[in-house]
Amino acid sequence: MASVINLLFGKTFDLLLYPFQSLNPWVGMTVVSLVAGLLVLAIYGHISDQEGIKAVKDKIKAHLLELRLYKDNFRATTRAQRDVLRYNAKYLYCNLKPMFVMIVPFILIIIQLDLWFGYRPLSPGESVMVKVKMDQDPTQSDLTLQASPGLEIETPPLRIESEKEIDWRVKGLEAGVQTLTVSVAGQSFTKQLVVSGKPLTKISQARVADRFLDRLMSPAEPPIPPNVPVNKVEILYAGQEMSLLGYRMHWIIAFFILSLVFGFGLKGFFGVEV
């Protein structure tokens, strides 16, 4: 199930963002926000009580107008204020159902966007921590880590028994998608590590064991093979922020604002009441 979802969402976002990899990340973010805005408008338009929302919004507007129309009538204005608050609560209630329905696809969208916008690839010569989380005592394990020629393992493994964790520091030497190979109990699997890259690069921060929620949260690489005593291999990439006219912001804020703007701009065109 998780594989199907990840495949569907992963391929969709790959297709969507592939043409914009070489461009400023804002271009890709704008396109994604537009598509997300349209998608959500379509879903919202279908699952929400459009007439109910319009009726409640009209009531809010009416009572706001009352504040203006009856400004000399203290009783009317206090009643109007009460009614605005009452209908505002109703408005929020009207949005509960679409909110709960949309939260699932939107979490999946946000996970995908985090792959593209959440992290910065290593620069050549830059080092990063690599963590392997095991489900057994790491001091008793024969686990080893090997790097492809474009990487250099700078430190011997640091085994932290209490965390069931083994850490290395790895340096990126050459640009490209490099590979780390983890060998344990006679089996091997790889974890990709991105050095340099285009302005918009998909980065898998972790490869995880085949558990449903973990797979959904780390969808870019296949699961760690079964019967391997490793839960997760994680690379602690530096976070990436969007920059606009010198102002830096988390990508989710940019996404929120842009999708809101597109949603607002297009709701009339699609006849959706929000």
Partner 1 sequence: MEKNRLRFSLALLVALALLPSPAMAYIGPGAGFAFVSSFFTLFLVLLLAVFSLLAWPFRLLLRTLKRSKTRGKSAVDKIFIVGLDGMEPSLADRYSAEGKLPNLTRLRENGSYSKLATTIPSISPVAWSSFMTGAHPGKHNIFDFLSRDTRTYLPDLSSARIGTPKRVLPLGKYRIPLSKPEITGLRKSVPFWKILGDHHIFSTILRVPLTFPPEKFNGHLLSGMCAPDLKGSQGTFFFYTTDLEKVKQREGGVMIPVEIKDGVVETHISGPENTMLKKVEEIRLPLKIRVDKERDEAHIDVAGQKFTLKKGTFSEWKKLTFPAGLGIGIGSIARFHVSQIHPHFEMYMTPLNIDPEKPALPLSNPLIYSVYLSKLLGSYITLGLANDTWALNEGALSEEAFLELTYSNHKDWERMFFNAIDKTQQGVAACVFETTDSIQHMFFRYLDPTHPANKNGQHAMSAKVIEDLYTKMDDLVGRVMQKADDKTVIIVMSDHGFRSFRRGVNLNSWLYLNGYLSLKDGKDVSNEWFQDVDWDKTKAYALGLGGLYLNQRGREARGIVEAGEESRALKKELIEKMTSLRDEEHDGAVAITNIYDRDDLPAGPYLGNAPDLVIGYNEGYRASWDGVKGKVNRVVIDDNAKAWSGDHCIDPVQVPGVFFSNRKINSTTPHIIDIAPTVLTLFGITPPPHMDGRPLMETRVGSNGGKG
Can you read off the two tokens belonging to residue 214? 């973990």
**Could you say whether residue 102 binds partner 1 (CB under 8 A)?**
yes
**36 versus 184: smaller Cβ distance to partner 1:** 36
How far apart are alpha carbons 29 and 157 in whole angstroms? 38
Whole-number minimum distance, CB 65 to partner 1, in Å?
A: 4
Instruction: Between 95 and 148, name the residue whose CB sits nearer to partner 1.
Output: 95
Is 74 a residue that touches partner 1 (CB under 8 A)?
yes
Mapped onto helix, strand or coil, the DSSP state of residue 272 is: coil
Q: Would you give the distance in Å from CA 45 to the centre of its chain?
A: 24
- At closest approach, how far in Å is the CB of 185 from partner 1? 26
Is 64 one of the binding residues for partner 1 (CB under 8 A)?
yes
Query: Which position among 40, 122, 147, 228 is part of the footprint of partner 1 (CB under 8 A)?
Result: 40
Binding segment for partner 1 (CB under 8 A), chosen from 10-18, 20-28, 145-153, 234-242, is 234-242
Task: Please report whether residue 98 would count as binding partner 1 according to CB under 8 A.
Answer: yes
State the minimum distance, in angstroms, from the CB of residue 138 to partner 1: 20
Q: Nearest to residue 194, comparing CAs of 182, 209, 180, 181?
A: 180
Angstrom distance (rounded) from CA 107 to CA 190: 27
Local structure of 95: helix, strand or coil: coil
Strand, coil or helix: 123: coil
Stretch that binds partner 1, among 23-31, 84-92, 169-177, 188-196 (CB under 8 A): 84-92
Span 43-62, contacts to partner 1 by CB under 8 A: 43-44, 48, 57-62
Q: Which runs of consecutive H residues, i.e. helices, occur in 193-248?
A: 212-217
Q: Is residue 160 part of the contact set for partner 1 (CB under 8 A)?
A: no
Residue 219 interacts with partner 1 (CB under 8 A)? no
List own/partner pairs for 107-110 with CB under 8 A and 24 or more apart. 108/5, 108/9, 108/216, 109/9, 109/36, 110/252, 110/255
196 near partner 1 (CB under 8 A): no
